[in-house]
Amino acid sequence: MNILVTGGAGYIGSHTCVALLEAGHSVIIADNLCNSKRETVETIMQITNKEVTFYEVDVTNSEAVDVLFRNHKIDGVIHFAGLKAVGESVEKPLDYYYNNIVSTMVLAKACLTYSVNKFVFSSSATVYGDNEVPFVETMRLLPTTNPYGETKAMCERILTDIAKANPSFSVSLLRYFNPVGAHESGLIGEAPNGIPNNLMPYVTQVAKGKLEKLRVFGNDYPTADGTGVRDYIHVLDLAEGHVVALEKLTEGVHVYNLGTGQGTSVLELVKAFEEANGIEVPYEIVARRAGDIASFYADASKAKRELGWSAKRDIIAMCRDSWRFESNNKTEGF
Q: Which residues bind ligand UFG (CB under 6 A)?
A: 84, 86, 124-126, 176-178, 197-199, 202, 214-217, 228, 230, 266, 289, 292
Q: What gap in Å lies between CA 130 and CA 34, rounded to an integer? A: 31
CA 133, distance to chain mean position in Å, is: 20
148 among known catalytic residues: yes
Rg (CA), the chain: 19
Question: Which is closer to ligand UFG, CB of 15 or CB of 118?
Answer: 15
Q: What gap in Å lies between CA 73 and CA 303, rounded to an integer? A: 29
Question: Which is closer to ligand UFG, CB of 27 or CB of 199?
Answer: 199
In angstroms, what is the minimal distance from the CB of 214 to ligand UFG?
6
Residue 33 binds to ligand NAD (criterion: CB under 6 A): yes
Judge whether 127 and 136 are in contact, CB under 8 Å: no
Question: Which is closer to ligand NAD, CB of 59 or CB of 171?
Answer: 59
Q: Phi and psi at residue 134, in whole multiples of 5°?
A: -70, 155
Nearest in space to 191 (alpha carbons), one of 13, 37, 333: 37
Residue 9 binds to ligand NAD (criterion: CB under 6 A): yes
In angstroms, what is the minimal distance from the CB of 289 to ligand UFG?
5
Other C-beta atoms closer than 10 Å to the C-beta of 299 total 17
Residue 7 binds to ligand NAD (criterion: CB under 6 A): yes
Residue 223 binds to ligand NAD (criterion: CB under 6 A): no
Q: Binder to ligand NAD among 5, 59, 244, 266 (CB under 6 A)? A: 59
Nearest in space to 154 (alpha carbons), one of 104, 117, 116: 104
Partner interacting with residue 197 (select from ligand NAD, ligand UFG, none; CB below 5-8 Å by kind): ligand UFG
Which of the residues 177 through 196 are near ligand NAD (CB under 6 A)? 178-179
Q: What gap in Å lies between CA 235 and CA 122, rounded to an integer? A: 13
One-letter amino acid identity for 133?
V
Question: Which is closer to ligand NAD, CB of 33 or CB of 67?
Answer: 33
Stretch that binds ligand NAD, among 34-42, 256-264, 289-297, 300-308 (CB under 6 A): 34-42
Judge whether 282 and 205 are in contact, CB under 8 Å: no
Sheet containing 2-6: which strands, arranged edge to edge?
53-55, 26-30, 2-6, 76-79, 118-124, 170-176, 253-258
Residue 260 binds to ligand NAD (criterion: CB under 6 A): no
Binding mask 91-130 for ligand NAD (x = CB under 6 A): --------x---x------------------x-x------
Partner interacting with residue 117 (select from ligand UFG, ligand NAD, none; CB below 5-8 Å by kind): none
Partner interacting with residue 230 (select from ligand UFG, ligand NAD, none; CB below 5-8 Å by kind): ligand UFG
Residue 149 binds to ligand NAD (criterion: CB under 6 A): no
In angstroms, what is the minimal distance from the CB of 183 to ligand NAD?
13
Partner interacting with residue 36 (select from ligand UFG, ligand NAD, none; CB below 5-8 Å by kind): ligand NAD
Catalytic residue chosen out of the listed positions 11, 55, 148, 202: 148
Other C-beta atoms closer than 10 Å to the C-beta of 138 total 8
- How many helices and strands, by DSSP H and E, does the chain display? 12, 13
CA 227, distance to chain mean position in Å, is: 23
Judge whether 167 and 307 are in contact, CB under 8 Å: no
Q: What gap in Å lies between CA 181 and CA 189, rounded to an integer? A: 7
Biggest CA–CA distance in the chain, Å, is 56
Q: Phi and psi at residue 23, in whole multiples of 5°?
A: -85, 5
Binding mask 11-30 for ligand NAD (x = CB under 6 A): xxx----------------x
Active-site annotation, residues? 148
Residue ranges that bind ligand NAD, judged by CB under 6 A? 6-7, 9-13, 30-36, 58-60, 80-84, 99, 103, 122, 124, 176, 178-179
